Amino acid sequence: MTQQPPSLFQTLVGAGVLLIGLGLAAGAITIPSSAGYGGVGPNFLPWLVALSLLVCGGFIVWEARSGGFRAMDEPTGAARAYWPGFAWMSAGLLANAALITTIGFIFSCTLCFVLAVQGLRGAEGKAGHSPVVWLKDVLIGMAIAAPVYWMFTKFLAINLPGLTSTGWL
């Protein structure tokens, strides 16, 4: 196997991962470390993620500098970004953030799912604009969001924004 020259772009990806890891580590320093339930403090997970990113970023930089990413498949998909799909997904995330306290977790997450699926479907060239497709997406979104909401509110006692005060919707 022939040695490839180091790739600048691959090295920059690794450096970016390292910078994100350093940023998370800097943020984790500010979180108190007093042990809570189970013997771990609130800074445990941020440190775990920061260290994982630092290790992964180091490996990416090493891999890029020692010959580049090996045995990569040829890129698939379109040569250019699919901007309408990006717009659909962005609209879903922004609508979720804007409406979660107004219409509740279940409905805002369902709306986010429906809009994101439209973006992904469009990126595949399978536009689904029929009412049946939209209804199916709504039902699937609710089937995902409702159990998550109930699990958090009923079993874990974590308050998520709801539409009613009953804790079920």
Report the pLDDT value the prediction gives residue 51, as an integer from 0 to 100.
Answer: 96
Longest dimension (CA), the chain: 65
What's the CA gap between 139 and 26, in Å, rounded? 42
Please state the separation of Cα 80 from the chain's center in Å.
22
What's the CA gap between 8 and 5, in Å, rounded? 9
What's the CA gap between 146 and 109, in Å, rounded? 9
Please state the separation of Cα 151 from the chain's center in Å.
20
What's the CA gap between 10 and 30, in Å, rounded? 31
Average pLDDT of the chain is 85
pTM higher than 0.95: no
What's the CA gap between 152 and 150, in Å, rounded? 5
Chain segment 101-139, per-residue pLDDT in tens: 889 999 999 999 999 999 998 888 887 778 999 999 999
Helical pair 44-65 and 8-29, crossing angle rounded to 10 deg? 160
Average pLDDT over residues 18-34: 90
What's the CA gap between 94 and 157, in Å, rounded? 26
**Six-digit token string for 26:** 């800097």
Report the pLDDT value the prediction gives residue 162, as an integer from 0 to 100.
Answer: 77
Chain segment 54-92, per-residue pLDDT in tens: 999 999 999 988 877 777 777 777 778 889 999 999 999
